[in-house]
Amino acid sequence: MLPSFRLRTLLSALLALMLHAAAAQTGWQQLYTAAHTQSCAKALRQADGGFLLVGEELLKQTSTSQPAPRRVVLVRTDARGRQLWEQRVAVPGYPHVFVREASQNAQGELLLGLVNTPLYTGFGRPNLLVALTPRGPIRWTRDFSGSSRRLVGLAPDDSHQGFVVAVNDGGREAALLYLNADGSQRQQLPLDFGLPVVSSVINTVLPQPGGVLVGASGYSSLYSTTPTAKVIFVSDDGVRGAETVLPGSYTGPTLLLALGGNDFLAYDGHLHRIRLGVNAVQWSRDLITSDGGILSPEQWAASPTGEVLLSGFTVRNSHILTRYLMLINSRDGSVQPLEDNNAPAIAKLGESNAGQVASLLPGDAPGTFFMAGAVTEGIFLRLGRFAELELGATATLAAWPNPVTDADLLRVNSPFASANALYLYDLAGHQVLSWPAVTGGTAQLSLRGVKPGSYLLVGTNGQGKIGRMRIFKR
């Protein structure tokens, strides 16, 4: 129990400090725990400013001869990451799914690219398409596992209320499939590389207004190891537009990022800034971490002010992955300095098993970003400046709605609700109420009968960090 006399002694100073910190704070953190191990593959921003987090969870193993089944998990939040609902979706006939791709069109429909494999690693390109509405049943599935085709990327086709699916066919021919909302195929567009090549490969697709940007590689012979790499715009009607050839690429572009207008970043083992339609790069560079390694980016996001946040990894001793965050200036590719000490904005997130970053998105305030992913404790979503973003359990107590009435249940985020008891104090430091820890999930607390006014909610998470939040009772 937290001794109330300590709170009486420090309460006045603490409340003043909290109000000052709240005015300066830009970020928040949310963690969504569950009874089963969960991972996150994608965070999709919603029309109301909230988020849809897409991942999967590992269920309990029921047979020693069969691996544990997995199912899709959807977590819907409001604009501050507070959970609104959670949906679990089992895919009939496919008990071992890993989510690798996710896209959502303007109608709110989802298309997922899944790997169906009993292996615990879940490596490999998706071989199964699953379409569904976030709160509804599965609409249709399409299985590619019996063919040489593998899914590379998904994008919405809002011009026709459907989706664009990029596929590679055994390294021979790449194509864009234009699917209607019911899963029927409207068009198949083979990738015309515009050069005499014997094989073409799509490496990535980036949704753009009115179409997609395709990062592709073309090989002049079956034994060629150096492809011709291109970035190509293709409209929702399958019309090819402007393109850019990347110089000296070993793999072709595997990541693309829009900077505004016709300017983009492309990563193909090196980082390039390009202008679509111009066959020359504005600059190229490697991303060097604080320990001298070369960063391989996995996720990135660009702010309107020209900052680019990247998450990625370096490899040591051929198998040890170290994950990093890095903030660069898109104008020249230089690493940004930190605001407080002018040091390079490079942060180590941890080793291979520390967690994973699934999505980075620009925040609504200048210099802020959203980061979503998974750690041991569950799926997380965070907003903050570079120095505020990290992997690990949330250290911030969150409760809502606030203000709260007799008719409401005050919900408290799970890291604090499930670890230890929660306490409510008045501004004189007297304990008004307490609630025991709940078993997983979010606590729902009744303040019925509590007099209107200001109170302090106090809790401790599983790492022993004390969280405090001012609650207003109406």
CATH of the domain at 277: 2.130.10.10
Check whether the bond before 337 is cis (ω within 30° of 0).
no
- What pLDDT is attached to residue 19? 44
Q: What is the pLDDT of residues 253-287, one digit of tens each?
A: 999 999 999 999 999 989 999 999 999 899 999 99
273 in the same domain as 164: yes
Whether 276 is covered by a domain: the verdict is yes
Whole-structure pTM value: 0.80
Per-residue model confidence (pLDDT) at position 27: 76
One domain, residues 40 and 170: no
Q: Show which of 392, 422, 440 is a domain's final residue.
A: 392
In a shared domain, residues 265 and 385: no
Last residue of some domain: 251, 286, 321?
286
With respect to residue 240, please indicate whether it lies within any of the assigned structural domains.
yes
Sheet with 37-45, side-by-side order of all strands: 37-45, 51-58, 70-77, 83-89
* Domain shared by 157 and 252, yes or no: yes
Based on the fold, state whether residues 163 and 38 are members of the same structural domain: no
Could you tell me the pLDDT band of residue 450, with boundaries at 50, 70 and 90? very high
* Domains in the chain, number: 4
Average pLDDT rounded to a whole number, residues 143-162: 91
In this predicted structure, what is the pLDDT of residue 414?
A: 66
209 lies in some domain: yes
Same structural domain, 166 and 279: yes
- Please state which of the ranges 94-108, 144-158, 434-448 shows the lowest mean pLDDT: 434-448
CB 325 within 8 A of CB 311: yes
Q: If you average pLDDT over every residue of the chain, what do you get?
A: 86
User: Are 257 and 329 found together in one domain?
Assistant: no
341: confidence class by pLDDT, cuts 50, 70, 90: confident
**pLDDT tens per residue across span 166-191:** 999 876 789 999 999 999 999 999 98
Asked if residue 302 has pLDDT above 60, the reply is yes
- Comparing 112-126, 149-163, 453-467, the range with the smallest average pLDDT is 112-126
pLDDT in the model for residue 97: 92
Clarify whether residues 257 and 299 are in a common domain. no
DSSP E strands, 251-390:
255-260, 263-267, 271-275, 281-285, 296-302, 307-316, 320-329, 346-351, 356-362, 369-375, 378-384
Q: Is residue 420 part of a domain?
A: yes
- Residue 247: predicted pLDDT: 82
pLDDT given at position 177: 96
Does the pLDDT at position 12 exceed 70?
Answer: no
Give 308-340 pLDDT, tens digit per residue.
Answer: 999 999 987 766 788 999 999 999 999 999 877
What is the pLDDT confidence band of residue 193, given thresholds at 50, 70 and 90? low
Regarding whether 263 and 190 lie in a shared domain, the answer is: yes
Q: Which of 59-73, 77-91, 366-380 has the lowest mean pLDDT?
A: 59-73
> Is 7 inside any structural domain?
no
**Whether 46 and 93 share a structural domain:** yes
- Domain that includes residue 292, residue range: 287-392
Same-domain status, 403 and 344: no
Q: Decide which of 141, 170, 185 is a domain's last residue.
A: 141
pLDDT, residue 398, reads: 78
Do residues 168 and 282 share a domain? yes
The per-residue pLDDT for 472 is 93
Residue type at 335? V
Predicted confidence band of residue 202 (pLDDT cuts 50, 70, 90) = very high
pLDDT computed for residue 195 by the predictor: 65
10 domain residue, yes or no = no
Q: What is the mean pLDDT of residues 7-24?
A: 48
The closest of 381, 372, 460 to 30, measured between CA atoms, is 381
Q: pLDDT at residue 121 above 80?
A: no
Higher pLDDT, 354 or 206: 206
Residues 271 and 281: their CA atoms lie apart, in Å, by 10
φ, ψ of residue 448 in degrees (nearest 5): -60, 130
Residue 47 in any domain: the answer is: yes
Residue 417 inside a domain? The answer is yes
Phi and psi based region of residue 342 (left: phi greater than 0; alpha: psi -120 to 50; beta: remaining): left
